[in-house]
Structure formats: structure tokens, C-alpha cells
Structure 1
């Protein structure tokens, strides 16, 4: 009898393994009605609520340009936070996550807005976000589009096309740019990659000519703010073009302290005030030079993700 009982116990253990009964789940709160979700800004939503909003706006606004503007405005007031995202937990060079709804910096805001506008569900949004943020959609600090002009703008030519030279016209200004990605990855992210130094020449529209070409900008276009200091030029900030109530061109962007919408004249005036204050205080700050504009493509064919490669083994083991 004792042997039989022991056999039954062993058989039961073999059948159940190490599993134990899960604890009873707490009663889940019923999902909010769509009308209640639509009263929130995106940064106030949970991922589940954001997924429902994405599906709704895709049906409610079929025009992609208007959908981009609507989604961007749905984040007005979102708190600004610099150096917000990373590759954690896929990579552990830092502890920053792959996405955040609650906060944004300028690039995160633009990427999230485009990704949501191109998607019909939370799952598609998350996929699209990685497709936009990384070269060929391959997640990794070395494949992230770090440099706006020479990474982001180039890798996302399927989405936007640089029209800065066309808008600036013959003889418009341009600057030379050199990027050393290997040095940047080594010093900023403790990541070693053999990547050749690359140079390019970048056209832009000077700030005093923006009012002249503003009527040629279209809703949903991508904006690069070009700054200069000590003879060096670079894209220091990004945002989106949206149309105001009378069709005037506005700049929708994430900057300290939160996402805002303003006219280009207002943005240029604020930059001038900051530069004058720096001069009075003897500070060597950056100076606004102008803008690059990238036209949202009429026909968007989203390229497939490249296969995510198997990570290398530590120490060649």
C-alpha cells in the first residue's frame, strides 16, 4: 500500500512537473468606452487605449497628412525629456526602453506621430516605430538613426524626401557635414563597430526666407532646425508642419517643457530672444541658421524589416 501510494505520488509529480496552480486573478477593470479614451491626450493613455485610438483615427481620418496633424496635436502638452529611449532590454548599454508614451523628445515625438499615422493597431505601431527608428528596422544602438541629416533622413527616404535645395533655390546655402559613427558609438555607447567616416553636403533654407517659401510646405512634412556655432552646422531639432485655422504653416514639435504648436515666425523670434540673452550673459550658444524641409511622400511603400541577426557571442566563445 505504501509503495503504491508512493508510486501514485511520483506519477502525479511526473504529470504535473513543477507547475502549481496560479493564484486567482484580481478582477480586471472594464475597458473605457472609446468616447472616454478620445477625451485623453495620447500621453495620458495606456498602450491598450492608444491601440484603440490608433484604430479609430485610421478609420475616422483617411487622409494621411491630416491624420499626422491630428495625432501630433493629440500629444500637445506631452512632457519633454531628452535622451529618453534606448534599446533596453534588447541591449544593455543603457537602461532606456524602446518606447514611451508618457514623454518625448523632438525625434521621439516625430517618430511616434508618423508610426501611429501609418498604423491600424498597437502591434503595427510598435513594428512601424522600429522600422522608422532603425536602419532596415534592425534593432541595435549601432543601427539606430543617430544623425538626423545623414542617418534618419536617408534611411527614411521611403517616407520623406529632402526638398530643401529646391525650396532654397539656385545659390541657396549649404554646409559640409562629417560623421564618425565608429567614434560616436565607442565614446557614447561603449560599442565597437568598424564604420568608415562619411561626409556630405546639406542644403537648407535660411531663416529669413522661411516666410517666402512657407506656402509651399505641406501638412505632415518633416522639419530639421539647422543651428550653427563656431562655423559648424547641424540639425539640432526636428518637428512637423501642420496647417493653422487659415491655412498658415505651423511648427508642431516637442521641446522644453512640452509639445507645442506655434508659427515659424514665433519659433524664430524665440530663438532670437535666446541668442540675445546668451550674448548679454557672455554665453557661447548655438545660433539658428535656418531649416531643412522634407516632403512627406505621396506614395508610401513601407519596406519590409530586415531579419534581426543573431547577436554575437561574448569573448568569441
Structure 2
């Protein structure tokens, strides 16, 4: 969604921007090109491989680009450490990146056998470490809340039983355990034909990487990172992420967040942003045709007051 990102961020020369999720460098490159000749960009990613990829890809931009390995949930601290506060725009493209999904050795997919990893960066446990420590109730909750998985308890129990028996060595092993527990046609229970392990993998990935907590922290940090009149753009890929962005922006846009029914406001909240997208913006048909993964992308934007 590069054109939409540039439009909502109002990218222009002489301004400063933050890309909280560098990924493969596509958005970072577009921002640097659109802010030529003197715009600056601070680009962040948890994944050291992503940082090196972007460093090589965007080497030609020189000192206009600052790369930082870190968690975008800590965006305020990272910006402060690099003298990059009060920026003109902040972009967060949430969720797992395409290169992480495509590389079997990262353990995000079961289309090929990969290790029990799923880490977005070095600041998270591997899936193997997570399964060795997690209790049944906690794993059940992760699958139910983060993956919206039906029969979460039975799947969680089967996963832990297989892990304790030494039967889980690869992502394919894990997918087979799920399929053997609920059947190949279980899917999501929403009339789709997705593999029953798809949402299980989503729930595990979100739990391991604390993705929703990170996203919530980044949304709350918007008014502390972006200057008045500047903008923030967040792209999410499933309902859990989009709900956090939508509600977070709504809270920042209200001048009272007290529970309904109180006779007097006691929260002292003030409106800090103006919502620019009353409904999410979706990728164009042309982009979805080029990149099917963009089909689920949802963009929301605010302007800081």
C-alpha cells in the first residue's frame, strides 16, 4: 500500500519520518525517494536479518537513513535515543513480514518443514522454548484469543502431549498434530477451506512475539513521537490488530475516556489526534492482483493535534 502510505503521511522533502517495521525496505525506500533531497528516515526492525537487508538495499541514501534493530513498541525511547522526536510521520506495518513467511528456517510456515522458532527478533523465545515452559491453560488462552481457534483446549493439550513425547521437531510435525486432532476440514469454522493449523500458527506467533502488546504500545506513543500536524499510519492484517489500532486511535481522539454514566469527568483526558480514516482503507484491486497477501491489509491514519 505504498501510494496510500505516502498520501496519508504527506511525505515531502525536508521532513523526518519513522518506519517502525522496516521489513524488506519497500516502504522505507518509498519514503526516502518521496522526501528527496533532504528528508530523513529512522527505520526500525526487530529482525537483524531485515536490518542488514535494508542496509544493503538502501545504502545509496547515505546519512538520510538511520537503521535501528529494536522493537517498534519502544518507538518513543528509540526516537529519543537517536534525537528523532517530534517527527512528521510514523508508519507501522504490523504483523509478520513476507520474507519471514517465505523462509522455512524461520519457522513461521508449515508449507515446508522448518524449526520450532517463529521469532521475529532476538528479543523473543523460540517456539520450542515457549512450549517447554507454557502451561496448558495459558496455551489454550493464546490459541483461543490470539488465533481465535475452535477447540483450543483439545489442540493445546495435543500439542503439549506431542511435545513432551518428543514428537515435535518441525513445523510440519506441529501442523500434523493439529490436523490429527480436529480433522483436515476443520479450518476456521467460518466456511473457509484453510488448513486447521493456520490459525494455530497465528496464535502461537502472536503469543511468542507479544505482537498485540507491542502494537498497543506503539499506538499509545503516537502523540509523544509525532509533532502537532504530523501523521501516523498503521497497517494491520487481521481483526485483532485492526481492533487495537481502531480503538487506540478512538481513545486518543476523545477528550473524555471515563466510563459512561459518571456525573463528572475525572479522567482529565484531552483530544490528542484527529482520525483521518473513519473506515479502514484497503489495498487496490491492482495491488491485490500483484500481491495476494495485500488482500487482508487495512490502513488507518490519524493527524496529531
What band does the TM-score fall into relative to the shorter chain?
under 0.3
Structure with the larger strand share: 1
Q: TM-score, normalised by structure 2?
A: 0.25
Structure with the larger helix share: 2
Q: TM-score, normalised by structure 1?
A: 0.25
